[in-house]
Amino acid sequence: MDNETKTRVFRVLKKVTGREFDHIDLNGDLQSQLTLDSIQIVELFAGLEQEFNIELPLSMMTVRSGNAFFRLLEEELNKR
């Protein structure tokens, strides 16, 4: 994933959580790293959909690893 896309994802994360994220261990568990509650997860997905002007599949909400999440996000971005 390119740096611009990562920057945009981190910007949405900051908007949802109020915290700065400059690094995510892509091999690690996303939920434990981000500590998002269920409402924040929904807000994150809505924010990403708005930021990238795409519709994300609901199945992405259950993805645990950063690598899997970013791979699926790239797939959705490539469909545009």
φ, ψ dihedrals at 63, nearest 5°: -70, 135
- Containing domain of residue 30, as a range? 3-78
Residue-level pLDDT, tens digit, the chain, 80 residues: 788 998 899 999 999 999 987 678 888 888 888 888 889 999 999 999 999 999 999 989 888 888 899 899 999 999 97
Q: What is the pLDDT of residue 33?
A: 86
Report the predicted TM-score, pTM, of the whole model to 2 decimal places: 0.87
Q: How many structural domains are present in the chain?
A: 1
Q: Long-range contacts made by residues 12-21, C-beta under 8 angstroms, separation at least 24?
A: 12/44, 12/47, 12/48, 12/51, 13/44, 15/47, 16/40, 16/43, 16/44, 16/47
Question: What CATH number is given to the structural domain containing 12?
Answer: 1.10.1200.10
Q: What is the pLDDT of residue 24?
A: 80
Q: What is the pLDDT of residue 21?
A: 75
